[in-house]
């Protein structure tokens, strides 16, 4: 199952290393996970993609990255497992705004709070960053089909990127995925299979189907290259914080980053991005990573608490469907992100998650889906718990647009008022 001879992409990628047993592979010598992974359902044997940072820093400088007209992740191509930016699908991803949110700052007293709004990607979630890489690699390997299991957003992202590139895609989602997400898949023209079961059931089915039919598997925590797409958010944050400080300011890491966590691939990617920047000498220190989970889907939080290497599966029931995960698929990277950066896992109730949608929208102008608002709810919790200081530079990543799940939002806004079409009715309704 090894990939084709890879050619130019080997210029910067030196290989893949197993995060459990430490074995190194040349790229192309292994496809998804290390041979040490047992078939017992444990999600170890995750691979980390390694780069020749000296060669990267000869090929590109932070100044060049800043001067690029291209704001998409393509500008980071020497740090991506692709041969060149032209291999990415023609539907640009990334380059999302880092918002200064003055009214949220005033309401919280956190004077250097920023919201990175990744709901503004082409399919309206953070997952576009990874799916662009999946389609680039599937095409390069000449695969007829790229497939994924997803709670919804990874699938929508894959469907959109695949559509733009003319690549066939097969998607496995739990039947319970919100209708807007399923609509996206159908509209983009993917073959959609709604599995009678949980996300975890969909995941296992997708893995078997890819092995059986020779499809390219994008599934999170299994395909090692998804981390590489997700890490681009950290490059953007460090560049955007620098831009705020003036034309010649060096790249700047925030003090802490808040991100919601389901499988743990995003937080692992955010961590990898900042680690790359430290390795390149482009930033001086790592930000602290805070992973936020619902009390109704707390597997990684529990593992972090207990010091475990593998999370004990839970029965996840959170309303924030994108982070509703029984057995996280990317636990090694997710736990390392928090442990190595001196951050923490933070738990929030579902009620706090849904409530957090309102200030983000009403004071920040950002409409987040529940899993996106979870990061902000986690920041508020961390602030209460004394984990952050008011002057620190804090970045909350909104991972998905609120239009993905309007029913959840309307649980906290209440229903709309219906009136007769008359001025009297307006007066009546508003007490004028």
Show contacts with ligand PLP in window 303-342 (CB under 6 A): 322-323
- 192 vs 261, which CB is nearer to ligand PLP? 261
Question: How many whole angstroms separate alpha carbon 22 and alpha carbon 7?
Answer: 25
- 11 vs 406, which CB is nearer to ligand PLP? 406
- 87 vs 401, which CB is nearer to ligand PLP? 401
Q: Which contacts (CB < 8 Å, 24+ apart) does range 244-252 have?
A: 244/100, 250/62, 250/282, 250/283, 251/62, 251/277, 251/282, 251/283, 252/283, 252/393
Q: Cβ of residue 18: shortest distance to ligand PLP, in angstroms?
A: 20
Show contacts with ligand PLP in window 213-252 (CB under 6 A): 220
- 264 vs 273, which CB is nearer to ligand PLP? 264
Q: Cβ of residue 229: shortest distance to ligand PLP, in angstroms?
A: 11
Among 92, 254, 264, 287, binds ligand PLP (CB under 6 A): 264
- 25 vs 172, which CB is nearer to ligand PLP? 172
* Helix (H) / strand (E) containing 347: strand 344-348
- Reduced to 3 states (helix: H, G, I; strand: E, B; else coil), residue 393 is strand
**261 near ligand PLP, rule: CB under 6 A:** yes
Question: How many whole angstroms separate alpha carbon 311 and alpha carbon 307?
Answer: 9
Show contacts with ligand PLP in window 164-203 (CB under 6 A): none
The encoded tokens of residue 334 equal 């997710």
Cα-flanking dihedrals φ and ψ of residue 372, to 5°?
A: -75, -45
**160 near ligand PLP, rule: CB under 6 A:** no
| Cα separations in angstroms, 355 against 65, 298, 359, 412, 414 | 38, 19, 8, 6, 12
Residue number of the CB closest to ligand PLP reads 400
The number of residues making up the chain comes to: 432
**371 near ligand PLP, rule: CB under 6 A:** yes
Among 46, 108, 125, 198, binds ligand PLP (CB under 6 A): 125
The encoded tokens of residue 185 equal 């898949």
Residues found near ligand PLP in the complex (CB under 6 A): 125-127, 153, 220, 260-266, 322-323, 369, 371-372, 399-400
């Amino acid at each position: 199952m090894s990939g084709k001879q890879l050619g130019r992409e080997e210029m910067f990628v030196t290989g893949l290393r197993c995060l459990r047993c430490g074995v190194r592979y040349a790229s192309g010598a292994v496809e998804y996970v290390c041979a040490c992974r047992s078939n017992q359902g444990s999600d170890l044997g995750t691979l980390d993609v390694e780069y020749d940072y000296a060669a990267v820093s000869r090929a590109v400088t932070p100044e060049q990255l800043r001067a690029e007209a291209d704001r998409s992740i393509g500008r980071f191509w020497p740090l991506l497992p692709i041969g060149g930016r032209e291999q990415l699908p023609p539907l640009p991803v990334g380059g999302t705004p880092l918002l200064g949110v003055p009214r949220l700052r005033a309401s919280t007293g956190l004077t250097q709070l920023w919201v990175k709004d990744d709901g503004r990607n082409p399919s309206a979630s953070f997952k576009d960053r990874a799916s662009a890489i999946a389609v680039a690699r599937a095409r390069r390997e000449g695969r007829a089909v790229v497939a994924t299991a997803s709670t919804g957003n990874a699938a929508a992202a894959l469907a959109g990127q695949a559509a733009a590139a003319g690549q066939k895609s097969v998607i496995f989602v739990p039947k319970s995925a919100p209708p807007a997400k399923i609509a996206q898949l159908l509209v983009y023209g993917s073959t959609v299979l709604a599995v009678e079961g949980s996300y975890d059931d969909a995941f296992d089915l997708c893995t078997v189907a890819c092995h059986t039919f020779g499809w390219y598997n994008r599934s999170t925590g299994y395909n090692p290259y998804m981390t590489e797409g997700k890490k681009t958010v950290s490059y953007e944050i460090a560049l955007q914080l620098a831009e705020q400080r003036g034309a010649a300011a060096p790249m700047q890491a925030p003090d802490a980053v808040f991100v919601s966590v389901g499988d743990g691939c995003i937080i692992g990617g955010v961590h990898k991005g900042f680690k790359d920047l430290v390795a390149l000498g482009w930033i001086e220190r790592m930000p602290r990573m805070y992973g936020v989970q619902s009390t109704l889907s707390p597997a990684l939080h529990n593992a972090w608490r207990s010091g475990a290497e593998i999370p004990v599966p839970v029965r996840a029931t959170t309303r924030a469907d994108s982070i509703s995960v029984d057995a996280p698929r990317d636990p090694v990277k997710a736990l390392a992100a928090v442990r190595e950066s001196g951050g923490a896992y933070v738990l929030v109730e579902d009620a706090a998650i849904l409530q957090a949608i309102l200030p983000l929208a009403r004071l920040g102008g950002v409409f987040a889906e529940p899993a996106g608002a979870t990061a902000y709810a986690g920041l508020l919790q961390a602030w209460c718990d004394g984990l952050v200081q008011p002057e620190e530079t804090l970045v909350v990543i909104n991972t998905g647009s609120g239009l993905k799940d309007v029913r959840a939002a309307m649980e906290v806004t209440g229903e709309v008022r219906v009136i007769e079409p008359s001025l009297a009715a307006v007066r009546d309704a508003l007490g004028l």
